[in-house]
Amino acid sequence: MRDFRQLLEGRWQQSCLCVGLDSNYEKIPSHLKSLPVKGTIFNFNREIVDATQDLVCAYKLQIAFYEAKGPEGIAAMMETVEYAQERYPDIPVIVDAKRADIGNTNDAYTIATFNVYRFDAMTLHPYLGIGALQPFLNRKEKGCIILCRTSNPEAREFQDLTVQRNGTEMPLWKYVAHQVTEVWNTNGNCCMVAGATYPEELAEIRAIAGDMPLLIPGIGAQGGDIEATVKAGKDSRGTGMIINNSRDIIFASSGPGFAEVARQKTIKFRDEINRYR
């Protein structure tokens, strides 16, 4: 059985970089588009994975880009997961879907994500509370990546609201960090999202979370600084980070050699991350 945390631990010594397969069909190189949508997206992903597999700690698929292309997009997503896991079985594959609901709905989401699509981990939002997330948390071998401090500029609208926890005032994102670390992580399969665009908050989340894995979006196109991110986000062993980069890598070139360009970009980001670990 694949265990998300064990897979991560096995990859972290060589890399803390996650390549995001946010495979927007409109941006895929035109020379691949002689095939139907499914074949185009899958072949693009396959070439990226083959070119970068020795340089990453994980892959992350943003489900929206696959859902946007209907059944063919979903089929390409599933084929990508199957290919990556069978060809490179030591690399975990994450879905960025930000799910959470209640009751039977979450039971169905859990089955779809982990049994049908076969992802190793999933992003989840905490707004409905632990009861809503329990079906995910019960899957001990799967990663439950809870949104804590997201990387977008609008994050402050709600995440900076002041709340009380045990008589102490704190921003909502810090409350979430404490709850995930101290209450929700009974199976040791929780992780948190902490954006590179807020390095001071990232450092505070790391101090609360200990050696819990953090998924860190926001470097590259969103402007997060790698040195500040690594110094704030690394755990006691200099690892613990899943630093995601999508567009800057996978769409670095639209020519026939796009996969090799993506590889060179991945090496650049991987090496810069390792420099500050």
Active site amino acids:
98
Q: What is the DSSP letter of 72?
A: H
Q: Which residues pair with 242 in a beta bridge?
A: 215
Decide: 261 and 274 in contact? Cβ < 8 Å.
no
Give the position of tokens 């079985």. Answer: 89
Residue 170: in which H helix or E strand, if any? strand 168-171
> Which of 251, 141, 233 is CA-nearest to residue 195?
233
Alpha-carbon distance of 254 to 136, in angstroms, equals: 38
SS (H, E, C) 92-116: CEEEEEEECCCHHHHHHHHHHHHHH
d(CA 198, CA 172): 15
Amino acid occupying residue 192:
M
Instruction: Please list, in sequence order, all residues whose beta carbon lies within 8 angstroms of the beta carbon of residue 240, skipping any fewer than 6 positions away.
Output: 12, 16, 206, 211, 212, 213, 214, 233, 234
230-247 core/surface letters (b: 16 or more CB in 10 A; e: else): bebbbbeeebbbbbbbbe
